[in-house]
Chain A
């Protein structure tokens, strides 16, 4: 099928079609939502190549799981969950779990080009990007999903796999920390 004339087919219909094996419907969903999911993955992982791999894997995973997708969430919300999950797993695997008393480590070289900087070029974006790199993976995921992607607290809790109060806590902590960094920049 082609997305041409006036009315675009709603996600919900396309997702059902894709679940029944209509790969062309699935392709429309991938084209429609790929860009925003790539942006999310780039912000979380701080690397475009890794972000592309993460989004690619997430979509293929979604294709396999679509026959069981019952539409209890919107397709894009569901994809946010899959991509966030995939990115958090990757971030957690990057380094051994930091113990509670761990000494803070110096900035890793891979992070010289940090989450948002890779995509955006203004000084403000660069400052924000550096500040974001200083957050824990979960704090960053919560804050980015809330402030840059506009998800509800419920959807963030689902995507990150933590409770609603924990989401509020992560965002609060993230804001405080971002403000400290940005305060110096202002």
Chain B
């Protein structure tokens, strides 16, 4: 970019030394604007220097508002296309670097059949996601501890799944239904010998709120 200004060096000193003719610092006046506390200080409205500083910031804010409004409007089409193409490229690369996890024993003890953990976890998460108001998070599948389990040992398995659930569920009811469905899916869909299903409810889901995806509440 064009650097038609020298690089910032004494900004912090500049902030402190930016004093208006009335003795207030510019940064204090702008902070009052940011915090919405200008009304609490009669000097700001009475003083021509301070009110000019407030007005200047207002002009800039106005541009910001317009910029945000524009972005909310029609830019959409081209932007969506770009976002889609980036998503496709990202996922192409990601699929070349999958993390399938450990192999899990499948079928009868005499067989040499294995299923990777990520595939089993996908099935169990889907079981949870299919329940109304339930969303799965972490799901780990491993040999039951103490069964002399090494990574490659054949033996019974333990599933540990975390879910978020809406307030319509009580935890015991949710745990009972989910445990039963996971055990059944393990047996009937996958052919895995799952003996233990640990369920942790890690979050409460409140009906679709998009604000949950923003780092803080401010609009953009």
Interface residues of A (CB under 8 A from B): 1, 6-13, 16-17, 20-24, 26-27, 30-36, 38-39, 46, 48, 52, 55-56, 59-60, 63-64, 67, 74, 76-77, 80, 91, 94-95, 98, 100-102, 104-108, 111, 114, 116, 119-122, 124-125, 127-128, 133-140, 147-152, 155, 165-166, 168-170, 172-173, 175-179, 182-183, 186
Contact = CB atoms under 8 A, between A and B. Distances in A.
A98 B9 CA distance: 12
A56 B89 contact: yes
B3 A38 contact: no
A161 B66 CA distance: 29
Given A21-B99, A23-B94, A56-B89, A98 B11 contact: no
Given A20-B139, A39-B71, A10 B125 contact: no
A34 B15 CA distance: 35
A9 B68 CA distance: 27
Interface string B116-144: 01100110011001000101111110000
Contact of B14 (A33, A64, A147, A172): A172
Which 4 residue pairs across A and B have the least CB separation, nearest first?
A150-B218, A169-B11, A21-B99, A13-B137
B4 A107 contact: yes
Interface in B162-216: 162, 164, 166, 202-203, 205, 207-208, 210, 212-216
Contact of B3 (A95, A127, A183): A95
Contacts of B9: 100
A177 B63 CA distance: 14
A23 B100 CA distance: 10
Given A20-B139, A38-B83, A147-B64, A166 B162 contact: no
A76 B215 contact: yes
Contacts of B212: 10-11
A6 B214 CA distance: 19
A17 B137 contact: yes
Contacts of B100: 21
A22 B125 contact: yes
A183 B55 CA distance: 11
B39 interface: no
B91 interface: yes
Contact of B101 (A20, A38, A179, A186): A20
B90 interface: yes
A106 B2 contact: yes
B6 A13 contact: no
A134 B5 contact: yes
Contacts of A172: 11, 14-15, 18, 26-27, 30
Interface stretch (B40-48, B74-82, B105-113, B148-156): B74-82
